[in-house]
Structure 1
Amino acid sequence: MNDMRWIAEATCGQARAGHLHTAHGVVPTPTFMPVGTAGTVKAMTMDAVRSTGAGIVLGNTYHLMLRPGPERVRKMGGLHKMMDWSGPILTDSGGFQVMSLGALRKLDQDGVTFNSHIDGSKHRLTPEISTEIQHALDATITMCFDECPALPATPERIEQSMALSMRWAARSREAFIARPGYGQFGIVQGGTERELRERSVKALTEIGFEGYAIGGLAVGEGQELMFSTLDYTTPLLPDSHARYLMGVGTPDDLLGAVERGVDMFDCVMPTRAGRTARAYTERGTLNMRNARHADDLRPISPHCDCLACSRHSRAYLHHLFRSNEILGPMLLTWHNLAYYQRLMRTIRAAIVAGNLPETAAKLRADWAAGDWSEDEFPQPKMPPVP
């Protein structure tokens, strides 16, 4: 098999449709990666994840190094075998999670020493260790180790962080063990400072990676500033490589980022929302705990064929959440991931057809319109009770 590669299929404005070829299969892009932080997409079996149309999932170095540990994962046949997922897996390097530990970690030029949030035990991550762990996990896509400061931050702090991340990127690349169909992505940093983003892209492309991620966004700067940063960052990235926006986001975030040339996404939003009774739909977000759903016999969405929508009513979902039954989060997580995958397929088809502006306008108008009325989406006629 050849090296990992992204092959373009169509463009519409800055938006791109293509295919990412890997050792574990081909992924149509744009794509959304369900987050399987600790070797599981929360509340989902991998058969359920597959049923949504997902082609690639994400795991996390920090969490998996703490438990069950990379050697234990290796003994179980790697992350693919352990999770029962034969498709590609991208592993976040752990940098963001370590940086979020605050007082539990100590940063130096070589790496980070930190205390586990689980039991307080001391651990060390460097670019080399992170890359080695991801190799032990058998990650299809390895992320380079970086530092991501929370925004807002001073330009001086962001510049120091970006420069350190670029040095770590070079060390991560040096430690990466090349295998056919496997790859490593560099991570562009620089906050919302244009000159720093430009310097970061230049440093990473000189090193050379199989793909490029945009990090350090969706960390408190707001959508408008995130989009303006993408406006000048994505055009700097090679046209021939996949582009991945890390940790983003809402359906509107995904659409706006695709319009600006991004190919890959991950975010905990659809799974976290599923556990907290929030359903993503073509008509915006619905709260299944709301009393108005208590007697609503309609499914969540008339356009969805997930298990929650094909077998159950809003009234049942409302009952499950009000009763704190675990089936509620399971069904709603399934629905949300199915919606995200359906959204990405819709966007991808629009790029290929050359009508993304019209499709995007309709998607945004529908989200703004709110829930379907009963005239638009009638209650089903139920058989009489015997």
Structure 2
Amino acid sequence: MIFELTTTDSNSKARAGVLTTDHGTIETPIFMPVGTVGSVKAVTQEQLRDDVKAQIILGNTYHLYLRPGMDVLSKAGGLHKFNGWDRPMLTDSGGYQVFSLAANRKIKEEGCLFQSHIDGSRHLFTPENVMDIQRTIGADIIMAFDECPPYPSEYRYAKKSMELTHRWLDRCIKRMAETQPVYGHEQTLFPIVQGSTFKDLRTISATEIAARECAGNAIGGLSVGEPEQDMYEMCGLVCEILPVEKPRYLMGVGTPWNILENIALGVDMFDCVMPTRNGRNGMLFTWNGVINIKNKKWATDFTPVDENSPCFASNRYSKAYLRHLFAAGEILGMQLASIHNIAFYLELVQEARKQILAGNYAAWKNSMVPQLKQRL
């Protein structure tokens, strides 16, 4: 994996770059649609590639390990071949899901013993077998196994959790060095900065992660319920420590305005389930603000959601038609809303990149954020 930093905005820390993997190149800043179980909900791979212009998508180790399982993915030749996505892919290690979804879990030095949320069966995730699982899945970028503490966390717990994450990271790095990619393409490990919302812990964690000299770095444990300003403060602090020449990935963030604010702090990569999850519930993100398409006010609005968007889901169907689909319980409404939202997120980061390259990012961001937050 190669990361080339192209430009840094003169009035912020916003960066434009190019990330190259064996499955293709990614222009940063970038948003990555979440395909938790190998599928971005309600969106086909063809629509992701051709209509919303996704450059990279995500899979999740926890979910894919439980279903369809490693035997199926191994026989398929990895997730790229299994789901037909031939562009770059990233997998989350499953740490967040283990700690948020598993009915019962026990954390120890060896790893985490947990019960499946599907059938209650017991499993053990260790740094070593999580690396092996991600080798089998075959993503281009894989995440270290970490513990993601909840918000709020007591200082003592957050410190203990962070230190465990660092020890697990060293085992992940060792396991990666001992093994080879299964399908012939390179796989790159990103460690994860933790520390909750404690400045000293975030400083320690970012310093520790930077010292491992991995090809890229991630920031975890944010967008878990903390105030937005705390998120921005922690992210800004960490970005001042992580290496400038390596990509920075802020995990699980967030709203369109969250993304723009964190780009200004120096983040390159984002993912979030919000575009599809909120889309399925009738919330549409637009350049003028947030639309609840279920509201009666849209019943006779025959204008497109966004007539200037190149995406068919945004420019071809009226707000009135989309509202009708939701009112009728028609699954097409959820599909079109999801496609529109993902397309909007991709258009947002593409425009952010243009503004960075033009040297206008800070002023553009400051004008856009209040507009994006409006409730229409």
Whether TM-score is above 0.5 comes out as yes
One-letter identity of the residue aligned with 1:68: P
| Counterpart-to-counterpart distance in 2, 1:263 and 1:309 | 26
Q: CA deviation at 1:103?
A: 4.7
Q: CA deviation at 1:150?
A: 0.4
Counterparts of 1:280-359 in structure 2, within 5 Å, are: 280-359=285-364
CA RMSD of aligned residues (A): 1.3
- Does the residue aligned with 1:236 lie in a helix, a strand or coil? coil
1:361 aligned to which of 355, 360, 366: 366
Tell me if structure 1 keeps the 8 A contact 2:307–2:316: no
One-letter identity of the residue aligned with 1:30: P
| Counterpart position of 1:374 | none
Q: CA deviation at 1:237?
A: 0.3
1:212 aligns with 2:188: no
Q: CA deviation at 1:208?
A: 2.5
2:8 aligned to which of 7, 11, 19: 11
Equivalenced residue count is 368
| Counterpart-to-counterpart distance in 2, 1:183 and 1:278 | 35
One-letter identity of the residue aligned with 2:193: V
1:248 aligned to which of 242, 250, 253: 253
Greater shift, 310-319 or 251-260, is seen at 310-319
Q: CA deviation at 1:309?
A: 2.6
| Counterpart position of 2:109 | 109
Tell me if structure 2 keeps the 8 A contact 1:9–1:18: yes
One-letter identity of the residue aligned with 2:204: R
One-letter identity of the residue aligned with 2:194: Q
| Counterpart-to-counterpart distance in 2, 1:26 and 1:344 | 15
- Does the residue aligned with 2:166 lie in a helix, a strand or coil? helix
Q: CA deviation at 1:135?
A: 0.2
Q: CA deviation at 1:312?
A: 1.3
Q: CA deviation at 1:194?
A: 1.7
Greater shift, 299-308 or 113-122, is seen at 299-308
In structure 2, the CA distance between the partners of 1:365 and 1:205, relative to structure 1 (3 Å rule), is closer
Q: CA deviation at 1:27?
A: 0.3
| Counterpart-to-counterpart distance in 1, 2:325 and 2:70 | 37
| Counterpart-to-counterpart distance in 1, 2:79 and 2:204 | 35
Tell me if structure 1 keeps the 8 A contact 2:17–2:27: yes
| Counterpart-to-counterpart distance in 2, 1:370 and 1:62 | 35
- Does the residue aligned with 1:58 lie in a helix, a strand or coil? strand
1:331-371 per-position Cα deviation (integer Å, ceiling 9, x unaligned) = 01000000000000010100010000221123124325554
Q: Larger Rg: 1 or 2?
A: 1
Q: CA deviation at 1:306?
A: 1.8
Greater shift, 44-53 or 102-111, is seen at 102-111
1:62 aligns with 2:67: no
| Counterpart-to-counterpart distance in 2, 1:368 and 1:232 | 25
| Counterpart-to-counterpart distance in 1, 2:199 and 2:129 | 31
In structure 2, the CA distance between the partners of 1:26 and 1:252, relative to structure 1 (3 Å rule), is same
| Counterpart position of 2:240 | 235
| Counterpart position of 1:93 | 93
One-letter identity of the residue aligned with 2:243: P
| Counterpart position of 2:159 | 159
Tell me if structure 2 keeps the 8 A contact 1:24–1:181: no
1:213-263 per-position Cα deviation (integer Å, ceiling 9, x unaligned) = 000111111110100111211010001110000000000000000000000
| Counterpart-to-counterpart distance in 2, 1:360 and 1:205 | 28
In structure 2, the CA distance between the partners of 1:40 and 1:103, relative to structure 1 (3 Å rule), is closer
| Counterpart position of 1:140 | 140
| Counterpart position of 2:200 | 195
Q: Which runs of 5+ in 1 are unaligned?
A: 372-386
| Counterpart-to-counterpart distance in 1, 2:85 and 2:103 | 36
| Counterpart position of 1:276 | 281
In structure 2, the CA distance between the partners of 1:370 and 1:277, relative to structure 1 (3 Å rule), is closer
| Counterpart position of 1:32 | 31
| Counterpart-to-counterpart distance in 1, 2:374 and 2:251 | 29
Q: Percent identity?
A: 45
1:81-110 per-position Cα deviation (integer Å, ceiling 9, x unaligned) = 111111111000000000113651111111
Tell me if structure 2 keeps the 8 A contact 1:251–1:340: yes
Tell me if structure 1 keeps the 8 A contact 2:305–2:315: no
Q: CA deviation at 1:308?
A: 2.1
| Counterpart-to-counterpart distance in 2, 1:300 and 1:193 | 41
One-letter identity of the residue aligned with 1:247: G
Tell me if structure 2 keeps the 8 A contact 1:21–1:181: no
Q: CA deviation at 1:71?
A: 2.0
**Structure 1-normalised TM-score?**
0.93
